[in-house]
């Protein structure tokens, strides 16, 4: 996350928020945040949300990942929210959503 300039905004059991401040190094040709950067913070938010419910001596790996980019990523900060939907014995289902951080304006 350091390479992207992303930071943990909020961590609670089953819920994590990661914020990303757009900058030229992670922008695509039209000036919007690259979909790969948005995908990275979305995946990390969901993974950290799952990890927050696991014992300290365990880890997580993404087994499946799907993202729909419905609009260009714009705003002063992009917020990825990961939330655990269901925990299981070997798999945990988490959802993520990325949007401009509340209070920020779209550019």
pLDDT in tens, 43-90: 999 999 999 999 999 889 999 999 998 888 888 899 999 999 999 888
Number of structural domains found in the chain: 1
> Nearest to residue 76, comparing CAs of 41, 33, 35?
33
Domain that holds residue 56: 6-100
CATH for 27: 3.10.129.10
| Residues 4-51: tens digit of each pLDDT | 999 999 999 999 999 999 999 999 999 899 999 999 999 999 999 999
Q: Is residue 46 part of a domain?
A: yes
Q: Is residue 105 part of a domain?
A: no
**What predicted TM-score, i.e. pTM, was given to this entire model?**
0.88
Residue 2 makes CB contacts below 8 A (sequence gap 6+) with: none
> Nearest to residue 75, comparing CAs of 38, 25, 29?
38
pLDDT band per the 50, 70, 90 thresholds, residue 102? low
Q: Is residue 106 part of a domain?
A: no
């Amino acid at each position: 996350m350091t390479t992207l300039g992303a930071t943990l905004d909020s961590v609670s059991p089953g819920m994590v928020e990661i914020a990303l401040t757009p900058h030229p190094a992670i922008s695509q040709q039209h000036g919007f945040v690259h979909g790969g950067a948005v995908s990275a913070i979305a995946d990390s938010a969901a993974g950290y949300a799952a990890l927050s419910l696991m014992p300290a001596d365990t880890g997580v790996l993404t087994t499946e990942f799907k993202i729909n980019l419905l609009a260009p990523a714009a705003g002063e900060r992009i917020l990825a929210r990961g939330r655990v939907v269901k925990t299981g014995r070997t798999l945990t289902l988490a959802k993520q959503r990325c949007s401009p951080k509340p209070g920020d304006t779209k550019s």
